[in-house]
C-alpha cells in the first residue's frame, strides 16, 4: 500500500474524574492516513502532563508524512523514531490498514473514582452513588494518595460496595512514608485486587514481599523478571505512553511470559484511541478489565482540521502560498522571494515539458540553479546534482545524465514518492556513489531538522557547503519547509552576512575568527569527526556549536547534539530516525535512501527490514546519544589490538599545532599494520608521540608523521581517506 494523503485534526474534550488535566479540557490529535487505493484509517495521540511538555505534534507528523507520501507504507510494528503518543497514533492507524486486529470481544472495563477534596464521608457518599449508577462495572480504580492516608482509608471504609466489586488502588507513589504491613492490615476486609505503585522501585518490591498485592505501571524501567520474582501481580500499561505498537506488543509478551497480568489503561483518548485499546485486548492471553474511563466524557469535543499533506503536494507552491513575499534566496546583488521562485520555476518547467524518468544534470551555486532544480522536479525528471570540474563528466556518464533542454508536453508536476535527486557521496572512503532520494525524503529531513534547529521566516542560513553534496542541498529544502532564507555568500565576510545558521565541516570551524557574529544561533558541524577539544574551545568563545551524524544515504542529519552536549558525541536521533549501535551503527526511517544508481537501475542499500548499515561503529548512551568510534572498514589490527584511525585523529587534533589530520594503516611485517599520520600543521613525530602517550595506549601511537597533501581533499573540504591510504602505501613501498 502506498500513502496518498495524511490529515491531522485537533480535538479538545472536557472530562470528569480527571482533575490533573485542568479546566481547559483535554487536547488530542487525530491523524488519518489514506492510501492510493482509497483505504483510510485513523490513530489518536493523547499527551499526558506527567510525560513532559507536549512538543509541536504537527511538525512531528509532517516529518513522518513527507517521508512516506507516495511510497509503500512501513509495517505497523516497525519503529517510528517519534515521541510515544505520536508513534502510537501512527502505528495503530497502520495496523488498521494492514487488518492486523482481530475483532474485539465484549470488553469489560473498570470505572474511575477520584476526588481532590471533601470530607471522607462526603467523598465516600459521592463515590457510592457513582458505583450504584453503573451496576455493570464490577472493577473500580480509585485514585488515592492525594489526601492523608487516614482520609484515604476512611473514604474506602465508608464505601457501599455491591457484592463482587473489586477495587484497584492507585496512590501514584504517594504512600512512601508508610509501612507496607501496617497499610495492608488497615485495608484488611476490602476487596482489593491490587495497589498500583504505592512507592517507587526498589521499595515497591518490599511492599510486594510484605504481602501487599502490588502492580507496576509502564514507567517501570527494571527487568520484568525482577517484578515477578518480587511477587508483583500486574503491569498497568498506557500504550500511548510506550509508543510504537511493536514496542507495546513486545512489552505485553514479556509481561505475560513472566506471569504478570496486563491491565490496559487509557490516556483519556477519544473514540479513536479507545477503539485501538479495545483492539489491543485481543492480543492479551489473560484479558483483565481495562481502564478506559468511557463514562468520564462531559461533552462532545471541539474539533478543527489542522493540516493536510498529499503525495502530489508541490513544496514550492506551498511555500509561495504561505511565505510568498519572504526572501527565499539571497546573493550579494539579488534576492528572490518564494513567490518569485515559484513563478520562475513554473516558467522554466513549461520549457522543459514532460521529462518523466529522464536524468537531467544541474549545478547550483545561486538562485538560477535553485530555479532549475525545482523546474526539473516539476518536469518529472530526476535532478542529478553533478560535481564541478573534472569529476562532472564522469558523474554524468555514470548515470546517463544530460543537460536540460527544451522539451514537449505538459510537465506532470510533483510526486513526492518518486526518485527526485541523485547525489554523489563524498568519496572519502572510495569511489563516489550516486545516491537516490525522493523529494518527500528531503522534505522529511528538513522537517525533522526544523524540530531540533528551527529555521523560519527571518532566519538566514549561509550556503557554506557546495550544493552537489547533501549538506549543502539540504538548505533549500529547509527553506521550503519552514520559510527561512538561504544566503549564497560570494566574497562577503561572515559577519556582513548576518547569519543565524551555519553548516560547516570541522576545517571551517578551525579557520573561523575568535568571536562569532552576534546574530548567530546555530552552527551544525558534520562531514567528518570534529576534534572534541576544538568544539570545547569554540563553545567557550561563544560559538553555538552542535555536532551531527549523518550521510548522503540518510539525506543529511540523522543525529544532532545540543550546544552544551558532550563534544565527543553526535547527539540523539532526530524525529523519525532510529539509530542503533550494536556496535555496528545502522539507521532506519523515512529518509533512508531509495538506493544507489548502478548498472542503469536503482539498487537498494538496505536489508529486508529497511535498515541501512552505515559502516560506522559506535555506542549509544542510555538517553540515546550516539558516540561514533570510527569506521568498521578503517579499523585495523595491530599486534592483536583493534585500532580506530578516527580515535587517533581526534587525539592529535587536540594538539595546538594541528589543523587537520588523517590517520591510515600501513602494512607492517612485525605488527600486521601500524598507523601513519598525514598532518596539516607544524608537528614532528617526537611531539606527536609525546602528545599521544598521555592519551592513548601504545598500539595507537603513530609510527610516522607525514606532511599534509591538499590533493587528497575532496570538493567539500573533507579528506578522501582512500587517497591518503594509497599514498601512504606507496611511500611505504618506496614507490613515491
| Domain layout of the chain by residue ranges | 1-107+226-309, 113-217, 315-629, 634-733
Share of the chain above pLDDT 70, in %: 96
Which pLDDT belongs to residue 596?
96
For the domain bounded by 1-107+226-309, which CATH number is listed? 3.30.390.10
How many angstroms separate the CA atoms of 693 and 334, rounded?
Answer: 54
pLDDT at 106: 67
Q: How far apart are CA 299 and CA 563, in angstroms?
A: 45
Cα–Cα distances (Å) from 489 to 152, 221, 365, in that order, read: 68, 50, 10
Residue 21 pLDDT greater than 50, yes or no: no
The model's pLDDT over 586-602, given as tens digits with 9 standing for 90+, comes to: 999 999 999 999 988 99
Distance CA 73, CA 715 (A): 37
Q: Which CATH architecture has domain 113-217?
A: Alpha-Beta Barrel (3.20)
Output the nine-digit C-alpha cell for 469. Answer: 553534496
For the chain, the average pLDDT equals 92
Q: Nearest Cα to 292, choosing from 111, 137, 168?
A: 111
pLDDT, tens digit, for every residue of 711-722? Answer: 998 766 778 888
Tell me the per-residue pLDDT of 517-534, one tens digit each, with 9 for 90 and over. 999 999 999 987 788 888
734: confidence class by pLDDT, cuts 50, 70, 90:
confident
Q: Is the pLDDT of residue 701 over 90?
A: yes
The segment with the largest mean pLDDT, out of 60-64, 146-150, 301-305, is 60-64
**According to the model, what pLDDT value does residue 26 have?**
75
Q: Read off the pLDDT of each residue in 400-407 and give the average, rounded to a whole number.
A: 97
Q: Are 139 and 193 in contact (CB under 8 A)?
A: yes
712 close to 661: Cβ distance less than 8 angstroms? no
Within 10 Å of residue 185's Cβ, how many Cβ atoms?
Answer: 10
Cell of 698: 601504545
Question: Residue 109 — pLDDT band, cuts 50, 70, 90?
Answer: confident
**pLDDT(39) > 80:** yes
* C-alpha–C-alpha distance, residues 385 and 424, integer Å: 8
- Model pLDDT, residue 18: 52
Averaged pLDDT for residues 193-206? 95
Q: Which three cell numbers stand for residue 703?
A: 609510527
The correct CATH number of 634-733 out of 3.20.20.80, 3.40.50.300, 3.40.50.970, 3.30.300.30 is 3.30.300.30
Tell me which of 302 and 383 has the higher pLDDT: 383
In this structure, are residues 28 and 269 in contact, taking their beta carbons and an 8 Å threshold? yes
- Give residue 671's region: left, alpha or beta (phi > 0; psi -120 to 50): alpha
Long-range CB contacts (within 8 A, 24+) of 508-512: 508/464, 508/717, 509/534, 509/535, 509/538, 509/543, 509/545, 510/534, 510/659, 510/660, 512/538, 512/543
Mean pLDDT, rounded, for 558-582 = 95
Nearest to 45 by CA among 23, 63, 60: 60
* Overall average pLDDT of the 550-562 stretch: 96
User: CA–CA distance from 398 to each of 363, 392, 418, 469, 641 (Å)?
Assistant: 16, 10, 20, 17, 40
Question: What does each C-alpha distance from 530 to 74, 117, 544, 673, 717 come to in angstroms?
Answer: 34, 57, 14, 25, 13
What is the DSSP code string of 679-708? EEES--HHHHHHHHHTTS-GGGS-SEEEE-
Model confidence at 296: pLDDT above 70:
no
pLDDT band at 16 (very low <50, low <70, confident <90, very high): low
- What pLDDT was estimated at residue 128? 96
Per DSSP, what are the bridge partners of residue 305?
9
Could you name the CATH architecture of 315-629?
3-Layer(aba) Sandwich (3.40)
Amino acid at each position: 500500500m502506498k500513502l496518498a494523503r495524511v490529515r491531522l485534526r485537533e480535538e479538545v474534550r472536557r472530562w470528569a474524574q480527571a482533575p490533573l488535566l485542568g479546566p481547559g479540557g483535554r487536547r488530542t490529535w487525530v491523524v488519518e492516513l489514506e492510501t492510493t487505493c482509497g483505504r483510510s484509517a485513523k490513530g489518536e495521540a493523547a499527551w499526558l502532563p506527567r510525560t513532559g511538555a507536549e512538543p509541536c505534534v504537527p511538525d512531528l507528523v509532517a516529518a513522518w508524512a513527507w517521508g512516506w507520501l507516495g511510497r509503500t507504507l512501513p509495517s505497523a510494528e516497525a519503529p517510528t523514531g517519534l515521541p510515544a503518543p505520536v508513534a502510537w497514533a501512527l502505528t495503530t492507524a497502520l495496523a488498521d490498514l494492514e487488518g492486523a486486529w482481530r475483532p474485539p470481544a465484549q470488553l469489560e472495563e473498570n470505572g474511575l473514582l477520584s476526588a481532590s477534596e471533601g470530607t471522607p464521608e462526603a467523598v465516600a457518599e459521592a463515590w457510592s452513588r457513582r458505583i450504584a449508577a453503573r451496576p455493570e462495572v464490577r472493577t473500580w480504580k480509585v485514585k488515592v494518595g492525594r489526601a492523608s492516608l487516614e482520609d484515604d482509608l476512611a473514604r474506602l471504609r465508608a464505601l457501599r460496595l455491591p457484592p463482587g466489586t473489586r477495587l484497584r488502588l492507585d496512590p501514584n507513589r504517594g504512600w512512601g512514608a508508610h509501612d507496607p504491613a501496617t497499610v495492608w492490615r488497615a485495608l484488611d476486609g476490602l476487596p482489593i485486587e491490587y495497589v498500583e505503585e504505592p512507592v517507587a522501585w526498589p521499595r515497591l518490591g518490599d511492599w510486594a514481599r510484605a504481602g501487599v498485592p502490588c502492580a507496576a505501571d509502564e514507567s517501570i524501567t527494571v527487568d520484568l523478571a525482577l517484578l515477578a520474582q518480587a511477587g508483583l501481580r500486574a503491569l498497568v500499561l498506557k500504550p500511548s505512553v510506550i509508543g510504537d505498537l511493536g514496542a507495546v506488543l513486545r512489552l505485553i509478551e514479556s509481561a505475560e511470559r513472566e506471569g504478570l497480568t496486563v491491565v490496559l489503561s487509557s490516556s483519556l483518548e477519544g473514540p479513536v484511541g479507545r477503539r485501538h485499546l479495545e483492539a489491543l485486548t485481543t492480543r492479551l492471553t489473560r484479558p483483565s478489565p481495562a481502564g478506559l474511563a468511557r463514562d468520564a466524557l462531559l461533552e462532545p469535543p471541539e474539533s478543527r482540521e489542522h493540516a493536510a499533506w498529499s503525495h502530489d503536494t508541490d513544496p514550492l507552491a506551498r511555500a509561495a502560498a504561505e511565505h510568498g513575499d519572504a526572501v527565499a534566496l539571497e546573493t550579494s546583488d539579488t534576492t528572490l522571494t518564494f513567490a518569485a521562485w515559484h513563478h520562475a520555476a513554473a516558467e522554466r518547467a513549461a520549457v522543459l515539458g514532460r521529462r518523466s524518468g529522464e536524468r537531467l544534470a544541474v549545478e547550483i551555486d545561486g538562485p538560477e540553479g535553485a530555479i532549475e532544480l525545482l523546474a526539473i522536479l516539476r518536469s518529472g525528471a530526476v535532478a542529478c546534482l553533478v560535481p564541478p570540474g573534472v569529476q562532472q563528466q564522469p558523474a554524468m556518464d555514470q548515470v546517463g545524465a544530460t543537460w536540460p533542454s527544451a522539451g514537449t508536453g505538459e510537465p506532470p508536476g510533483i510526486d513526492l514518492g518518486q526518485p527526485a535527486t541523485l547525489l554523489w557521496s563524498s568519496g572519502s572512503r572510495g569511489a563516489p556513489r550516486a545516491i537516490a532520494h525522493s523529494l518527500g525524503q528531503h522534505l522529511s529531513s528538513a522537517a525533522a531538522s526544523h524540530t531540533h534547529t528551527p529555521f523560519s521566516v527571518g532566519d538566514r542560513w549561509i550556503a557554506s557547503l557546495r550544493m552537489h553534496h547533501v549538506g549543502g542541498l539540504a538548505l533549500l529544502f529547509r527553506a521550503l519547509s519552514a520559510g527561512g532564507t538561504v544566503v549564497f555568500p560570494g566574497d562577503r565576510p561572515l559577519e556582513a552576512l548576518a547569519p543565524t545558521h551555519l553548516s560547516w565541516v570541522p576545517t571551517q570551524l578551525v579557520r573561523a575568527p575568535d568571536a562569532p557574529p552576534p546574530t548567530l544561533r546555530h552552527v551544525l558541524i558534520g562531514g567528518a569527526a570534529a576534534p572534541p577539544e576544538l568544539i570545547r574551545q569554540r563553545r567557550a568563545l561563544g560559538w553555538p556549536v552542535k555536532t551531527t551524524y549523518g550521510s548522503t544515504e540518510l539525506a543529511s542529519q540523522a543525529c544532532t547534539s545540543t550546544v552544551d552536549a558532550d563534544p565527543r558525541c553526535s547527539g540523539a536521533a532526530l524525529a523519525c530516525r532510529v539509530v542503533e549501535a550494536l556496535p555496528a551503527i545502522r539507521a532506519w526511517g523515512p529518509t533512508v535512501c531509495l538506493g544507489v544508481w548502478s548498472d542503469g537501475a536503482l539498487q537498494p542499500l538496505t536489508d529486508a527490514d529497511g535498515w541501512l548499515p552505515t559502516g560506522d561503529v559506535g555506542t549509544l548512551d542510555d538517553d540515546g546519544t550516539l558516540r561514533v568510534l570510527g569506521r568498521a572498514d578503517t579499523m585495523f589490527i595491530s599486534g592483536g589490538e583493534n585500532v580506530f584511525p578516527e580515535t587517533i585523529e581526534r587525539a592529535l587534533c587536540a594538539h595546538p599545532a594541528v589543523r587537520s589530520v588523517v590517520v591510515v594503516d600501513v602494512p607492517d611485517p612485525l605488527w600486521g599494520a601500524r598507523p601513519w599520520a598525514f598532518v596539516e600543521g607544524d608537528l614532528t613525530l617526537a611531539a606527536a608521540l609525546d602528545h599521544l602517550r598521555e592519551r592513548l595506549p601504545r598500539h595507537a601511537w603513530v609510527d610516522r608523521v607525514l606532511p599534509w597533501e591538499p590533493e587528497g581533499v575532496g570538493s567539500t573540504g573533507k579528506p578522501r581517506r582512500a587517497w591518503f591510504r594509497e599514498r601512504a602505501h606507496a611511500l611505504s613501498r618506496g614507490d613515491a
